[in-house]
Each structure stands twice: as C-alpha cells, then as structure tokens.
Structure 1
Amino acid sequence: MAAAMVEMDGSIMEGGGQILRVSAALSCINGASIRINKIRAGRGTPGLRSVGLLLQVSLPCALYADGPSELCLKGGTNADMAPQIDYTIKVFKPIVEKFGVHFNCDLRMRGYYPKGGGEVVAKVSPVSELSPVNMTERGTISKIYGRSFVAGVLPYKLAKDMATTATRVIRREIKDLYINIQTLQEKDMACGSGNGIIIIAESSTGCIFAGSALGKKGVYPDKVGFEAAEMLLRNIRHNGCVDEFLQDQLILFMALANGISRIRTGPVTLHTKTAIHVAEQLTQAKFTVTKADDENASNDTYIIECQGVGVTNPHF
C-alpha cells in the first residue's frame, strides 16, 4: 500500500525556497510523496528561481545513489540571495565532510547577475550512511583570509578598495592576526561583469565562518567591503561553531545521520527553524534547540541537537 502524500505549505515560516529544497531532497531519499503548495509565496517574486542553490538539493540525493555522480550546474555562481560558490567550496564543503560526505567542486566559469552563464561540475561519492557531528568547541580564531574580485569591464581599483576597507574594519576587533585578502581581476573565467568580496575565518578547532557582499550599481566599494567585514565579525562574536548561513544547510545532514549531532551556533535563523520543521515533518528525526550555558556563551549562543534517523544506502 502506497504511503499517503505529504502536503507542504510553501508559504509557512521563512516562505522561501528552503522549504522546496529540503522537501525535495528528503522526498527523493526516503521515497515519500510530497506536494508543495505556494512555493516561495513569501518572496517578492514567487515561484522557482535561483540555480546556484541546486547543489543543496542534489548533493544529499547523490549521496544515496548506487555509484559516483557527476552534476553539471549552470547559472549564477556569485549572486544575491544565494551562497557564493566560494562559500560552498571554502566553508560548506569542509564542514559537511565531517558527516562523511565526499565531493569535488570544479569551478569552470563564474557567472554574474543578470547574465548568469556560470558552470560548476560537482563529483559526488555515495555513502553507506552519514556520521553524526559534534561541533561545540569554537577555540580561537587562528586565520583570516579572503578574495576581493572584479570581473568584466569593472576597474581593478574596486577590488583593492573593498579589500582595504574590509581589512581596516576587521582590525578594529582582531588586532593580532595577519589578514590575507587577495585582490583579483577575472577575465577568462568569468561571464559578465561583477564585483564582490568574501572573507573567511578559521578557528583552532576547525570551525569556519564567512562574511561576503556583492557590488551593485551605485554602491561604493568601501560599503561592500564594510558589509562583508561586519558580517564576518557578527558571526564570530557569538562564540558559536558555525555561521548563520551554514546553520540551516547542516539541518538535513543532521537529520539523515546515524546518531546524535550537536552544533553550537549563534541566534537560530528563520531559515534554520524552517529546515528543522520540514525535516521533522518528513523524517523521524528529533531536534532540540537550547541556550548554551557555559562560561564562553553569550546571550545569543545556542546548541542545536538532533537525533538522526540513520538513513542507509540500499546499494551498499
């Protein structure tokens, strides 16, 4: 007898593509039938849009395939309202590998708004099952580096100005570390014109955080650099182990893993609450969110804990 179809309301909570991404991936993995109504109803332009987020849907599915998968994803690689591809490679990838995930990401062409035209090839190895993670010790910030870029017709000076401002802002709070932000003018590897910056901080225990911003017409480069630096600092002030953008991306892996995962984080975002809601609707995973009460915790430090369901790959 076929399982009853699960109806999902695409307008609840965050009301964006998060509901679709988590639902579609879990439906593919556990074979549940779902119907999602009012997709991205909470957005100014409802319906399906951002190509850059496809990896968030396809990667979990490929983990439970009967062999290696190769995914060719085309569209914007550095666009607003989606993780920059640099974030996926430098932050998401090394952290999700703690669950036992292994994939390579080959960036063949960068694509900028509104042209798109970027291309990323991801090669994913299947798993027998995912391991739980315990990320509760932040340690000290040990490394800060980044990438400030211009592409197309934009002048190289923009990259230098973004990097200079970002470095100055970070130095106000973190004085004893060398900050290595590369400045680049992209030519052959870019489709269209664009500029932006991503700054990454690593901790002594292997935690990784990022702040990023993209340039827009009429926005001064020092404002772009300032925004990225402030975003990074905001995400390391709360003494958590993941930043606000990685938080929700790990929920799916916590739900699928075999055992209890614990992640220390800053304020729990609406994206994360949405991902937890969907994961609990479509699996037997159980999440709890509690305030951290140790001596290093601030008022907005939390522990997200999950009893994962231990999904196994039937092909192993």
Structure 2
Amino acid sequence: MSSSKPESERLVTLDGSHGEGGGQILRTALTLSLLTGRPFRIVKLRANRDKPGLRPQHLKAVEAAALLGGADLLGAEVGSRDLVFRPGAVAPRDLTIDIGTAGSTGLVLQTLHLPLAMRAETAARVVLTGGTFNPKAPAFPFLDQTWREHLANLGTPIALAMPSAGFYPRGGGRLEAWIEPAKPSPWVRTTRGDLLRIRGVAGAANLREDVVRRLRDRALSRIADEGWNVDVEIEAASWPSPGQGAAISLTAVHAGSAPATFVGLGERGKPAELVADEAVDELLDFLGVPDGAVDPHSADQILLPLALAEGRSVYTVSRVTEHLRTNADTIRAFLPREIEIEEAVSPDQPGRVIVA
C-alpha cells in the first residue's frame, strides 16, 4: 500500500531567489495554491531585492489569500524569508484591505483576482488602500487600460476605479475592483493590427500646475519627432490624494489588440521631462517590434490565467523578460502544463509563448 500523499496535498517547494527573484514568485504561488489546494513553502523570499524578505504589501497579500482560503501560515511576518502556506477551501467574499504603507494595491489585487473569479458564484468587490503608482509594480493606468482589456479578452471581466491616488511615501490611494465569476479561456494572438492612435494621461497630485504641462509637452514632442502618422492625445489630470506625486501614462491602441500602456513615475528631485522620457522610451521600444502582440509587462501577467484555461494558447511578445521566464517556472511547479518560451531572434522580432 502506497504511503505517498495525493498530488493536492504534496508540498511545493520554491526558491524565492530563482530568476527574477522578486515578489512575483510569491504572488503566483498564492494564487495557484488557493486554486489547486496544494500547500507550498518558499525559501529565500525576495532574495534579489534591496530589502529582501516579506515587505508589508507582500504580507498583506499573504494574509488576504489566507483569509480567502482559510490557510494556515508559518513565517508570515515582515522581513521573513521563509514562508509556508497551507490552504483550506476558498470562500469568496468581498474584501477590504489596508496595506498600511504606500505598497502596491495592484499587486495585491492581482494575487486575489483569479481565486475570486474562478470560485465565486456572484460578483465580489475588493477595496484596497495603499499605493496606486509604484515603481516595479503596475500603476493604475496600466491596470485600467491594459490589464483589464486582456482579462476581458480571456473571458474574465473586471471593473476598476481609483477614487484616490497613492504615491510613495504617503500612500493612502484607493483602488476598487468588481470581479465577475468567470473562468479564463485560451487565446491565440501572434500579430497585432495597425496602430490607430496613441492616448495618454499626464497627472499630478498636490504639485504645481506646470508639472503636468511639462510632462505632456515633453511626451508630445518626443512622439512627434518619431514621425508616427496617428492621432496623439494626452489629457491633463489632477488626482485627489493625501500625498504628492506625478505620473504619465502612454497607451498604444492597435486594431484588434489590447492596448499597451507604459508609465513614467515621478519622484522627488526627478525632472518632469525625465519622467516623460521613461514612458516614451518604453512605448517606442514596443512599437519597434511590429509583430509583438503583447507588451512586456502584460506577457507574464496573462500567462497565469492562460495556464488555468482549458486549451492551447499562443501569443507573441515584444520582449521576453526575466519576469516571464520566472512566472513560467513557478506555474510549472503547480500545474501539469507545458509552457514554451521562444526567444526573439533579433531586436525587432517578437518572442513567442506557447501554453500546451
């Protein structure tokens, strides 16, 4: 008589220093643990970051996932580099989460989205307080303009709102999400249509009016210099916020494709022109790979729902990133899916992702 445990009970062990070595391994593991019922242990948590171990935003994601899935935790404290998560049954519910710092609300939302969508029988509302514009995390314009559209294409609709913006170090932003019950569908997209227009938002909170003007003027000038023969519209925004901050988002709209959004984020002492340049540079890199159907920030984020979809998915990416490779490895640890990532053969050619 075999003494081996069923697959759903076997502990998945993950090395948090692997690949990209950030919080993505943890977030993907939390999502898949809730959906598969498999417990996991992650060691060397965020080993490749300036402040390794669990930060407040990661701890909030762990605690919210534990609440949602009745999980037992070991090592769930700020600074911990070793975490064990043993899930129970997912009990979908509305959630209100205060990160307590300027930590990313978007990353916590992405951790919870699929377990709520795939297990809930009615729509769930999630309200998060913290940062809505964070370095190395999806800012609200990206979530609203790009991530939300990809989810709609995959059959998992979500509605988003940002009543208040949150910037480092004050935080205090508010992100609201309404998640519909749904299961992701497979998706094939290996080209993108013609560029129809470029739209954007230059915004600030509690700063001088000329900051927004400088953000907008710089982006419009840079894009005009490239000679793109499309309409370019960048609106000005003044965001309510308890703190101060500025950002610009630029969104490329192609026929038949989800929009691709790139964000430049201000910080103290950083000229507005440099903030705009960062967004424009990323936009131009994306436009320089005409057959890349998916932008580099979305490529790893849509991989998880597609791995949970029944059927084969194929998509091209403008750039293969370490985030994409790392997410594929984490998914393979939980799911019996073949994920192939084909590297680009030249800078102007796309990579390809196949989920079999």
TM-score by length of 2: 0.81
Contact 2:141–2:261 under 8 Å retained in 1 = no
Query: What does residue 72 of structure 2 align with?
Result: none
- Determine which of 135, 158, 182 is the counterpart of 2:235: 182
Q: Deviations over 1:96-120 (max 9, x none)?
A: 2111101111222111110111111
Corresponding position: 1:11 with 2:49: no
Corresponding position: 1:101 with 2:153: no
Separation in 2 of the partners of 1:81 and 1:292?
Answer: 23
Q: Deviations over 1:38-71 (max 9, x none)?
A: 2111100112334321011000111122322211
- Find the residue that maps to 1:27 and give its secondary structure: helix
Instruction: Map 1:12-161; keep pairs closer than 5 Å.
Output: 12-49=18-55, 50-52=103-105, 53-67=107-121, 68-127=123-182, 129-152=183-206, 154-161=207-214
Separation in 2 of the partners of 1:248 and 1:96?
Answer: 13
Separation in 1 of the partners of 2:160 and 2:229?
Answer: 33
Shift of 1:287: 0.8
Instruction: Map 1:279-298; keep pairs closer than 5 Å.
Output: 279-290=331-342
Separation in 1 of the partners of 2:263 and 2:213?
Answer: 15
For 2:218, give the aligned amino acid: T
Mean Cα deviation higher: 203-212 or 56-65: 203-212
Separation in 2 of the partners of 1:25 and 1:283?
Answer: 12
Structural RMSD (CA): 1.6
- Find the residue that maps to 2:132 and give its secondary structure: coil
Shift of 1:299: 4.9
Separation in 2 of the partners of 1:58 and 1:124?
Answer: 10
Distance 1:203 1:24, change over 3 A: same
Separation in 2 of the partners of 1:84 and 1:109?
Answer: 13
Shift of 1:298: 5.7
Query: What does residue 313 of structure 1 align with?
Result: none
Mean Cα deviation higher: 191-200 or 203-212: 203-212
Distance 1:226 1:28, change over 3 A: same
- Find the residue that maps to 1:190 and give its secondary structure: coil
- Determine which of 270, 276, 284 is the counterpart of 1:233: 284
Corresponding position: 1:277 with 2:349: no
Structure 1 segments of 4+ aligned residues over 6 angstroms from their partners = none
Instruction: Give the gaps of 5 or more residues in structure 1.
Output: 308-316
Shift of 1:291: 5.0
For 1:282, give the aligned amino acid: F
Shift of 1:89: 0.6
Query: What does residue 352 of structure 2 align with?
Result: 303
- Find the residue that maps to 2:165 and give its secondary structure: strand
TM-score by length of 1: 0.91
Contact 1:51–1:73 under 8 Å retained in 2 = no
- Determine which of 287, 299, 302 is the counterpart of 1:247: 299
- Find the residue that maps to 1:252 and give its secondary structure: helix
Contact 1:291–1:300 under 8 Å retained in 2 = no
For 2:355, give the aligned amino acid: C
Contact 1:236–1:243 under 8 Å retained in 2 = no
Separation in 2 of the partners of 1:88 and 1:194?
Answer: 18
Q: Deviations over 1:111-164 (max 9, x none)?
A: 11101111112111112x321011212121101010001111x11111111111
Contact 1:167–1:229 under 8 Å retained in 2 = no
- Find the residue that maps to 2:226 and give its secondary structure: coil
Distance 1:4 1:175, change over 3 A: closer
Separation in 1 of the partners of 2:318 and 2:26?
Answer: 25
Contact 1:77–1:118 under 8 Å retained in 2 = yes
Distance 1:292 1:13, change over 3 A: closer
Structure of greater relative contact order (alpha carbons < 8 Å, 6+ residues apart)? 1
